[in-house]
Amino acid sequence: MSEIRAEVRLATKELRDDIPFFTGVLKMRLDMIYPADSPQVAVFSGHGLRVRVEKGAEEAPATLRILTDNPDQFADGQRSLTAPNGTRIEIDELNPPLVMPQTDHAFVVRRLKDQAPWVIGRAGMQYRDLIPSRLGGSIIASHIRIPDGGPVPDMVHYHKVGFQLIFCYRGWVDVLYEDQGEQIRLHAGDCFIQPPEIRHRVMFASDNIEVIEIGVPAEHVTEIDHEMTLPNGVINRDREWDGQRFVNNKVADAVWKPFRIAGFESRDTTICDNTKGVAGVHVVRAKNGEAPWVTHNTDILFGFVMDGSMVLEGEGKEPYELTAGDAFVIPPDMKTRFRDPSDDLEILEVSLPGIFDTNAE
């Protein structure tokens, strides 16, 4: 196969002014210049980029972003520069720290019957937003479905997140994970947590697969890893990514215990233990008796009704009759009650952090 190169062309009025800027300030290499007697074109390379600066080109000024581990040691610490030809240069962190926005607390109810729009997202999957406000950017909760089963057009990738949950709501899906051996099938009722930056790839899905995905913060980066192939031939169940271990919790192994609210029981997915308290995930169902009015003090408390029905009462709010597919968020210190649960009620509850207090009246 013949060699192929790609360049970005930038216009200039006077090439001789740009050469010392691109080589000296931006630390790029001069690869080509012509004609010798009166240079009109110069080609520079560096930082994974090839740039052609051409006198008289018609392009408007562009912006180059240079990412580095030490922005304070690049270009004398300047974060914004302008080249003689008008090109704007931005210097930024190669791996910026994850910023967790302060939660904008709100009582949220999102009902399936309200017909929130499904949008096409990554790899052709359909997304429904369960928390439109994102609580100020602190969390995103998505109801995701793939109507037609079969191979999923995915690539090995990872997410720069603080916490991420994948809970299989309907059907099944096969996923490959870094250091976890061969592909794992996630059945309805099972869940994964994807620790920060664990490489993974969705392989196959059943017809009408549906999952609930929780991501913290709401806006986070997904990066493609073109170097890693999965499976990667390693099994390391104890490995941690940013203090979190991969969790593959199966409904078949469920142990039901009394829930934090009287009248209900729950199964713990072990996510609180494996994230060292970053988050907790329970599946909740009605047991017996009437639930009391309660308050909690965790930062985020999200619920998704998977089956059955109940009435959600909130102090100062109209009661909401919730059925399968509905979601809600209860802010800290707000009095609420789960009333009239059906016998088949099941709720997915996600809390951040995972350890908190509940007070009942």
Of 93, 126, 149, the domain-final residue = 93
Residue 3: what pLDDT? 87
Q: Do 266 and 339 sit in the same domain of this protein? A: yes
316-342 mean pLDDT? 97
Q: Do 112 and 220 sit in the same domain of this protein? A: yes
Q: Do 25 and 69 sit in the same domain of this protein? A: yes
45-74 mean pLDDT? 95
Q: Is residue 62 part of a domain?
A: yes
Dump the DSSP string for 326-353: -EEE--TT--EEEES--TT-EEEEEEES
pLDDT digits (tens, 9 = 90+) for 86-128: 999 999 999 888 889 999 999 999 999 887 678 877 666 789 9
Q: Is residue 242 part of a domain?
A: no
Task: For Cα atoms 229, 196, 202, give the angle at the middle one, nearest 5 degrees.
Answer: 45
178-189 mean pLDDT? 97
Of 166, 199, 234, the domain-final residue = 234
Q: Do 77 and 41 sit in the same domain of this protein? A: yes
Q: Do 257 and 229 sit in the same domain of this protein? A: no
CA–CA distance, 355 with 335 (Å, rounded to integer) = 19
68-72 mean pLDDT? 93
Inform me whether the pLDDT recorded for 317 exceeds 90: yes
pTM over 0.85: yes
Please tell me the total count of domains within the chain: 3
- % of the chain at pLDDT higher than 70: 98
Residue in the structure block whose two tokens are 């950017």: 137
Q: Do 48 and 121 sit in the same domain of this protein? A: no
Q: Is residue 67 part of a domain?
A: yes
- DSSP code at position 98: P
Residue 123: what pLDDT? 61
Q: Is residue 257 part of a domain?
A: yes
Q: Please count the CA atoms within 13 angstroms of the CA of 105 that sit on its side-chain side.
A: 12
Residue 147: what pLDDT? 83
- % of the chain at pLDDT higher than 90: 89
275-291 mean pLDDT? 94
195-224 mean pLDDT? 95
Evaluate whether 63 touches 51 at the Cβ level (below 8 Å): no
Inform me whether the pLDDT recorded for 301 exceeds 80: yes
Q: Do 315 and 345 sit in the same domain of this protein? A: yes
68-93 mean pLDDT? 95
Single-letter amino acid code for the residue at 47: H
Residue in the structure block whose two tokens are 């110069």: 42
CA–CA distance, 21 with 27 (Å, rounded to integer) = 8
Residue 250: what pLDDT? 97
CATH number at residue 73: 3.10.180.10
Residue 120: what pLDDT? 79
Residue 351: what pLDDT? 98
Domain around 147 = 108-234
Residue 1: what pLDDT? 61
Q: Is residue 30 part of a domain?
A: yes
Residue 122: what pLDDT? 65
Q: Is residue 1 part of a domain?
A: no
Return the structure tokens found at 66. 């240079």
The pLDDT mean for the chain works out to 95
Q: Do 259 and 333 sit in the same domain of this protein? A: yes
Q: Do 263 and 148 sit in the same domain of this protein? A: no
Alpha-helical (H) ranges within the chain are 15-20, 271-274
Banded model confidence at residue 289, pLDDT cuts 50, 70, 90: confident
Return the structure tokens found at 97. 């720290």
Closest CA to 86 of 175, 21, 7, 143: 21
Evaluate whether 127 touches 118 at the Cβ level (below 8 Å): yes
Q: Do 137 and 87 sit in the same domain of this protein? A: no
Inform me whether the pLDDT recorded for 342 exceeds 80: yes
Q: Do 228 and 119 sit in the same domain of this protein? A: yes
Banded model confidence at residue 288, pLDDT cuts 50, 70, 90: confident
Residue 12: what pLDDT? 96
Residue 148: what pLDDT? 85
Residue 244: count other Cβ atoms within 10 Å of its Cβ.
23
- DSSP code at position 277: T
pLDDT digits (tens, 9 = 90+) for 234-281: 999 999 999 999 999 999 999 999 999 999 999 999 999 999 999 999
CATH number at residue 276: 2.60.120.10
Q: Do 82 and 113 sit in the same domain of this protein? A: no
Q: Is residue 247 part of a domain?
A: no
Residue 15: what pLDDT? 95
Q: Is residue 244 part of a domain?
A: no
Of 63, 93, 123, the domain-final residue = 93
Closest CA to 252 of 242, 263, 267: 267
Residue 48: what pLDDT? 93
